[in-house]
Structure formats: C-alpha cells, structure tokens
Copies of this chain bind each other. A is one copy, B any other.
Amino acid sequence: VERDDPGEAVPAVASRYARDVAWSTRQLADLAGTTVKTVRHYHRMELLALPERTANGYKQYQVSHLVRLLQIRRLTEVGLSLAQIRELSGPDQDPDAAVRALDAELEATIARLQRVRAELAVVIEHGVPLDTPPAFGTVARGLSERDRGLLAVLSQVLDAGELDDVRALMADVPDDDEAALLFAALPEDADDAAIEAAAVALAPSMRSSTERFPWMSDLREVAPRGPKFAQDAVLPAVADLFSPAQLQALARANEIVRKAVAEDG
C-alpha cells in the first residue's frame, strides 16, 4: 500500500482502496497486537474461521478476520475462556448474567490478592521468612524453623480467633524471658533436676496463659475441624518438634499448674 496524497482524508482514500486486502498471518497478528501462534491456536480451537489461501498455501486474511480476532482478544482480556467465547456465538444466554458472574469472580480474585499483599507487607515489615503462617507474621521474628513448623500445623487446626490469642501470648513473651530460654536450652539428655527446674520456671506463665485463654487447656474443644483432627495433627507435631526432655518439662509444668489451681480453688 502506497502512502496517498497526505492532504486526502481517509474516507476518500478508502473508496478507491482494494476491497479485498490480503494480510499474512504475521500481519494479522501484528494488527491485532498478538502473535502468529495465537492466531493459529484460535484456528485449531475453531474460534477463528480459516481464510482463503494463495496458490502456495499462504493464508490471506480479510478485515472480517481482524475484527473477529480483536473480539476474541478483547473477550479473553476480560477473563473469558476460549470455551466460553465459543459458547457466546451459540445459543445466546443472558449476557448480563455472564458479565455479572465475571465481575464477581474478579472481585473475589482481587480480594484474595489484596489479602496476600497485606501478608507480604507484614513479612517485609517484620523481617520474617516468607513461609511464616500469616497469623503470626508480626511475632515470628527470630523463631526457629521448628517453631514455625508447629505454628503452621496449629494454623491448620485453629480458628482465626484462637490463633490471635496464641499470637497475643507470644507477643507478651520478651526475647530474654528466662523460663523460655531455660526451656529452649534444655539438652536432649537433661537430668530430672534440670527438667524440674525448667518446669517450675515455666509454670507461672503457663498458669496465667490458661487463665487468660481457658480454651488453651484443651484445644481439641475449640478446633473447628473437630477434636480428632486437632489431636491427630497437633499431638504428633508437638511430640516431633520438641525433644523428650522438653516434652517432660511441659508435662511437668502442666502438672504443677493443675496442682496449684486445685489448691487455690
């Protein structure tokens, strides 16, 4: 196509323009802002009619193909699948309902992505690992992989409200909490005296915790997916993530608390 007299407006030129343009696949793809692979894909999917061919087999696209291709591109951009686009040409369903369904889908997707972004912001702000369970993003700094593993399991078992109680407790424990340090440092082969010392140290905060959040005395009762599910998940996780000495210390501290509560009550 030669450039015409620049003083001449488009309609004047168009009236003399060859009616049957013949675009190649590449030209068609360029005009529509897409790729030749995409054009061929739409042929295979029978979304786009095959054009005439030249003697050597080259495809010759017309304006109708460009318009259809642009239509398909537009519909995929708003979120329709190719199958849905094919159906649109068929028995005409309520187009308004289709649009509303699309919109609702987009709304849900956006909400989900925004939640993820909020979680990423917490991850950045508090410098915690990316795989930190979202409920503990603000308090997980400095936790070991094992601790985070336990929190991940807990996150599967408890509701948001209970998870927030756990988070609140964790936020109240200072980094240099003596009982926590003693517990964490308990060696695998700790003797009974060491275990007892850790338990005694742990007991007071354990007592105040269960007084503040009574559900913590048996989390099976508040597990939304059922007590069996909670027990099957949390017991092994706790048993696996703490050493036997630590588990003994926990059990012993628990005993101390129960005795103390019974005496005070």
Q: Using CB atoms and an 8 Å cutoff, list the residues of chain A in contact with chain B.
A: 1, 3, 6-7, 9-15, 17-19, 21, 27, 30-33, 62-64, 66-67, 70-71, 74-75, 77-80, 88, 95-96, 98-100, 102-103, 106-107, 109-110, 113-114, 116-117, 119-121, 123-124, 127, 129-131, 133, 149, 152-153, 155-156, 217-220, 227-229, 231-242, 244, 247-248, 250-251, 253-255
Contacts and interface: CB of A to CB of B under 8 A. Distances in A.
Nearest to A71: B131
Given A14-B238, A99-B123, A232 B1 contact: yes
B240 A11 contact: no
Oligomer: number of copies: 2
Of all A-B residue pairs in the complex, the 3 with the closest CB atoms, nearest first, are A11-B250, A67-B149, A63-B240
A250 B15 contact: yes
A247 to B, nearest CB: 4
A14 B103 contact: no
B244 A130 contact: no
A31 B156 contact: yes
